[in-house]
Amino acid sequence: MLYENRSRAESFGAVAELYDRARPSYPPELIDALLAGGAQRVLDVGCGTGIAAALLAARGCELLGVEIDERMAEIARTRGLEVEVAQFEHWDARGRTFELLTSAQAWHWIDPLAGAQRAASVLEPGGRVGLFWNFGSPPAEVLALLNPIYERHAPGLGRGSVLLGGADARAQAAVAGIASAGEFAAAEVDTFAWSKAHVTAGWLELLQTHSDHQTLPAEQRERLLQAVGEAIDSLGGSFELPYEAILVSAQRL
C-alpha cells in the first residue's frame, strides 16, 4: 500500500517550490461537481502547496488545509490559505466540522479505512467527501519513445507511473475505504477529461515532483531525465497530454 511507504509519502517537501510550479491544476467541471451541493466550509486534506485549495477558495469557500509538511504548507499560506500542519489521521479538529472534505492527489497517502472514518468524524451529516486525482495518458507516439527509455534506466517505473498511463488502485481503494467505514452512502466515481501541453523543461520538472521519480538514486534519476528530455526534444520540444481527472465522492449519512 502506498500510504505505508512513508519515505515516498513525505518526499514532496524537498521539492515544494518545484511542485507548486510544475504540478497541473484541475478542470473547472470537477470543481463545479465538488460544490454542486452548495458547500461553503471546506477541509482540504493533504493540501500541499494549495493548488486545488486555491480553486475552491476562489469560488468563495471558507477553506482550511491540513498538510503534513511545513514546507508545502508555507507555500500554500502565500496563496492566502489557512493551513495546519499535521498527519490527518492524528489531526486535532478541536470540535470543528465541515460541509465538504476534499483531497487532491493525496488520499492514497492515507490509510483508506482510517481516513474515511476520520473524514466522517469531521463532516456534518449530509456533508460530502470528494477525493480526486489526475491521471495522464500520453499519445502512442510519445509512449513509443519513452517506454524503452524507462525500461533501460528505471525498469518497471514507467508502467506504474500515473503520468504515463499506468493504472493503480488508488481510486478503487478510496471507494472500498468509504464503503468499509459504514458512515457514507455509496461512493460515486466521475471522470473529467482535459488536456495540457507540456514542453520539455516543464515535463522534466513535473517528473521530479512525483515520488516514484523523486526517490530514485540521484545519478539514476539524472540519466533517466536526460534521456527523456532528448526524446521530447525529438518530438519538437512539446506534446499534448490527455488527462483524466477521477473524482470519488460520497455523502455522509
Report pLDDT digits (tens) over 208-219. Answer: 999 999 999 999
With 0-12 / 13-18 / 19 or more C-beta atoms within 10 angstroms meaning exposed / middle / buried, residue 167 is exposed
Contact 70, 13 (CB under 8 A): yes
With 0-12 / 13-18 / 19 or more C-beta atoms within 10 angstroms meaning exposed / middle / buried, residue 7 is exposed
Q: 165's torsion region: left (phi>0), alpha (psi -120 to 50) or beta?
A: left
The CATH number assigned to the domain holding 211 equals 3.40.50.150
Which residues, 6 or more positions from 186, have their beta carbon under 8 angstroms from its beta carbon? 179, 250
pLDDT at 1: 63
Enumerate the β-bridge partners of residue 192.
Answer: 245
Report pLDDT digits (tens) over 128-184. Answer: 999 999 999 999 999 999 999 999 999 989 888 898 887 678 999 999 999 999 999
C-alpha cell belonging to residue 204: 522534466
- Model pTM greater than 0.85? yes
What is the domain count for the chain? 1
pLDDT at 8: 73
Calculate the average pLDDT of the chain. Answer: 95
Domain span holding position 73 = 2-251
